[in-house]
A and B are shown apart, each in its own frame.
Chain A
Amino acid sequence: MEVGMLPISASKRGKLLAAGYTSLRSISRASASQLATDIEVSEDEACEILKYASQTSALDRSIGNSNTSNLYGGQTAWTMLNEEKFNTRITTSCVDLDNILGGGITCKEVTELGGVPGIGKTQIGIQLAVNVQIPLEYGGLGGKAIYIDTEGSFMVERVLQIAEACIEDMPEYSHHFHNNVQDCEVKMHPNSILENIFYFRVCSYTEQIALVNYLDKFIEEHKDVKIIIIDSVTFHFRQDFDDMALRTRLLNEMALKLMKLARKFCLAVVLLNQVTTKYIEGSYQLTLALGDSWSHSCTNRIILFWNGDERHAYIDKSPSLKSASAAYSVTTRGIRNSNSSCKRIKMV
């Protein structure tokens, strides 16, 4: 392990090297006052360097010792398997879609949803923000939602519609989750559903990055947030961006931070993406926007498309699910099965 790995400023690193402290061991042997005089910094700063050095070398040692099963921060596949059993899922309200997803959108993972304009991306986003609040008694998560709107397409009127329908259909959800019907008397008010959706309106990509940075603190204060929806992750990065390398880097950094949030707080992250056309094998085809390197960033990728007269969702990429497609429909009551019996109720 080298001095270059220490999280200290470049000039201090330079001073350390110039004074002959090339390895961590050589630093940890020195005393604070000795280090301070050698590299001409205050004793406090020297203490800090020593602290970092001992931390880093402790980390170093545990990596070197490969016999133990608990490497620094590592987990065995077996423990992960056991943990995955408790991974909760958020229903999409469409049984067919839930089935191919293994029960819904998984917590602790980043899921990307993309499709042509008008296919229902925002609708699914709103539905998930409502569904995450289904109480535990009904097999839900009883959590809260963060909705990050970059396009201005979030309509509260529509959220209210979906929330009302969700409360009416609540007894149905307990069927999906446990087969034994429990008669639980949890009455929810649509207003309380609205109250538990934290809405951020983002107006530039800088704000988007800042918000993702800030979310860690925000969720620390609101622990029961179980889903983050970004609608859409694409918009600001697609307009007015000439430096494509910078764009890729910023996007990847953002995806990493979101992934970290998902794991740390055990919540689901849903990113909505737009589509673009791409010239592949002699013809123009649709593909999700933001480019090839972005397509590696998300754990799951679901593409929404028209199949004849039906809306379909297709699992394009997932480490644990097999690729499959399912039909869904967008109704007044929200996302439902495509052959769903609930007819559109005319709004008057």
Chain B
Amino acid sequence: MANKLIKQMGLPNSIANIFTARNIITAKDALSLTEFELMEQLDVGMAEVKSAMAHISEVVCPPCQTALLLMEQRVRDERSAGHLPTRLRGLDEALCGGLPFGVVTELVGPAGIGKTQFCLKLSLLASLPANCGGLDGRVIYIDVESKFSSRRLIQIGIENFPEIFLKKGMAQEMAGRIVILRPTSLSEFTESLHHVQVSLLQKQVKLLIIDSMAALVLGEHDCGASRQQVLGWHVSFIKSLAEFSRIPIVVTNQVRSQTGDEPLTFSFQARSHSIKKEDRASYDSHLVAALGINWAHAVTIRLVLEARSGQRFIKLAKSPISPPLAFPFNITSSGLVLLDDDGIEMKGSEINTIHCQGQKALFNSEW
């Protein structure tokens, strides 16, 4: 709506023509100016400017819906109410049915924790036929780090759904529904995002996975400021993709170690620093998500995968519907498996920290 032409808004011709003559073509142009600037530029009186701006604003502003209407719409229209079940019972319950459609879900965790494993499983689930609880759709998998393994995909499939994958030809069909893109640079990635946008409209795509977002951006830019700007565009684009095509988007993020030994605090918290320091010293490593705080604000659901004393946990660090829960899990030949469906409710900021302790124990796990 922002780029809607002023000419087409049903303003009286006399004033609409003045806007056009002064090269104020779209609503965006007009709304970026103050009333006084418009008075000067258009050379008309205050009253005219005010009424024209009120009209333009009314046309451009999005429609109003009551929350009740939204609710009814969700219930009626299963497509937009939908969730992609992760088949991890505890996690699905906490999230009211799985990863919700229309929002961006982020997986963040240290290397080798199981992010890609989780993505592989999700892409299988989305491609399964509806009668097996899948979404019966296509999957677009943007694989930046070349970690996608078809063999592992089929293995997970056979372990979880032997009735489908052992049937002749079915494995081929399932795997055929998953399209892998391998952009090597940020510009290529941007280009493929545009292609994705088009194919989302045409084909039955039910899931988009980007593994990993961090690798793309970190590989390209060292300079902090430009990184944020580059990311800014992608953030809004990916969010709007999710929203308008009503599919879940899963994005993975890496970790890096915090450069300073202090956690980030607000200036008024300075008093407590000395106590905090001792706390932090006892940690083996202090990890933070690689993409910064701007990115973290943009994702709707954040799942942290971490390891504490040799045990892996998946934590619901940010979610508008679920309490902060942590579930212990293992990686087995059938993929990610929860050890406990009840989950442990985390107290306080613990939910956001990313631990990576007992790495050795991790690599000894089953496969």
Contact B350 A207 (CB under 8 A): no
A323–B269 Cα distance when bound, in Å, is: 13
Contact B103 A153 (CB under 8 A): yes
Q: Which of A18-26, A63-71, A167-175, A209-217 contacts B (4 or more CB under 8 A)?
A: A209-217
- B contact residues around A297 at 8 Å (CB): none
A196–B66 Cα distance when bound, in Å, is: 7
Does A328 sit at the interface, judged by CB under 8 A?
Answer: no
* With A116-B293, A157-B96: A209-B31 Cβ-Cβ less than 8 Å: yes
Q: Residue A203 contacts which of B235, B240, B317, B345 (CB distance < 8 angstroms)?
A: B240
A234–B298 Cα distance when bound, in Å, is: 11
- B20-41 CB contacts (< 8 Å) to partner A: 27-28, 31-32, 34, 39-40
Q: Residue A147 contacts which of B47, B67, B243, B268 (CB distance < 8 angstroms)?
A: B67
Does B87 sit at the interface, judged by CB under 8 A?
Answer: no
Does B265 sit at the interface, judged by CB under 8 A?
Answer: yes
A220–B293 Cα distance when bound, in Å, is: 38
Closest residue of chain B to A211 (Cβ to Cβ) is B61
Does A303 sit at the interface, judged by CB under 8 A?
Answer: yes
A99 to chain B, nearest CB (A): 19
How many cross-chain pairs have Cβ atoms below 8 Å apart between A and B?
A: 220
Does B302 sit at the interface, judged by CB under 8 A?
Answer: yes
Q: Which of A30-38, A74-82, A103-111, A235-243 contacts B (4 or more CB under 8 A)?
A: A235-243
Does B201 sit at the interface, judged by CB under 8 A?
Answer: no
Contact B317 A275 (CB under 8 A): no
A216 to chain B, nearest CB (A): 8
A207–B28 Cα distance when bound, in Å, is: 8
A193 to chain B, nearest CB (A): 8
Contact B93 A347 (CB under 8 A): yes
A161–B322 Cα distance when bound, in Å, is: 11
* With A157-B321, A158-B320, A240-B236: A306-B293 Cβ-Cβ less than 8 Å: no
Number of interface residues of A (CB under 8 A): 88
Closest residue of chain B to A12 (Cβ to Cβ) is B45
B305 to chain A, nearest CB (A): 16
Q: Scoring A residues 228 to 249 as 1 if CB is less than 8 Å from chain B, else 0, what string do you get?
A: 0000101110111110001001
Does A11 sit at the interface, judged by CB under 8 A?
Answer: yes
Does A8 sit at the interface, judged by CB under 8 A?
Answer: yes
B80 to chain A, nearest CB (A): 11
- B contact residues around A182 at 8 Å (CB): none
Contact A310 B67 (CB under 8 A): no
Closest residue of chain A to B352 (Cβ to Cβ) is A118
Q: Which of B68-76, B147-155, B173-181 contacts A (4 or more CB under 8 A)?
A: B68-76
Contact B292 A195 (CB under 8 A): no
A209–B45 Cα distance when bound, in Å, is: 22
Contact A284 B264 (CB under 8 A): yes
Q: Scoring B residues 218 to 252 as 1 if CB is less than 8 Å from chain A, else 0, what string do you get?
A: 00000000000100110110011011000000000
Contact B54 A239 (CB under 8 A): no
A236–B350 Cα distance when bound, in Å, is: 30
- A contact residues around B71 at 8 Å (CB): 156, 159-160, 191, 194
Closest residue of chain B to A206 (Cβ to Cβ) is B2
Contact B233 A240 (CB under 8 A): yes
Contact B67 A156 (CB under 8 A): yes
Does B44 sit at the interface, judged by CB under 8 A?
Answer: yes
B361 to chain A, nearest CB (A): 26
Q: Scoring B residues 67 to 97 as 1 if CB is less than 8 Å from chain A, else 0, what string do you get?
A: 1101100100000000000000000011010
A11–B28 Cα distance when bound, in Å, is: 26
A48–B292 Cα distance when bound, in Å, is: 56
Contact B293 A276 (CB under 8 A): yes
Q: Residue A240 contacts which of B32, B42, B232 (CB distance < 8 angstroms)?
A: B232
Contact A118 B317 (CB under 8 A): yes
Contact B60 A314 (CB under 8 A): no
- A contact residues around B292 at 8 Å (CB): 277
Q: Which 6 A-B pairs have the closest CB atoms?
A: A309-B348, A7-B46, A118-B318, A213-B57, A206-B2, A306-B349
Q: List 14 other contacts, CB 8 Å, given A210-B59, A210-B60, A211-B57.
A: A116-B352, A118-B296, A159-B71, A194-B67, A197-B66, A198-B65, A199-B64, A200-B64, A201-B65, A234-B297, A239-B233, A240-B233, A241-B232, A280-B267
A to B CB contacts below 8 Å, 28 in the list: A9-B42, A10-B39, A117-B296, A117-B297, A118-B302, A118-B318, A153-B320, A197-B67, A199-B66, A200-B65, A201-B65, A206-B31, A207-B61, A214-B54, A214-B61, A238-B232, A238-B294, A274-B294, A277-B264, A283-B262, A287-B267, A308-B348, A309-B349, A311-B348, A331-B323, A344-B323, A347-B93, A347-B94
A: which residues have CB within 8 A of B? 7-12, 48, 116-118, 122-123, 147, 151-161, 191, 193-207, 209-211, 213-214, 217-218, 232, 234-236, 238-242, 246, 249-250, 253, 274-277, 280, 283-287, 303, 305-311, 314, 316, 323, 330-332, 344, 346-348
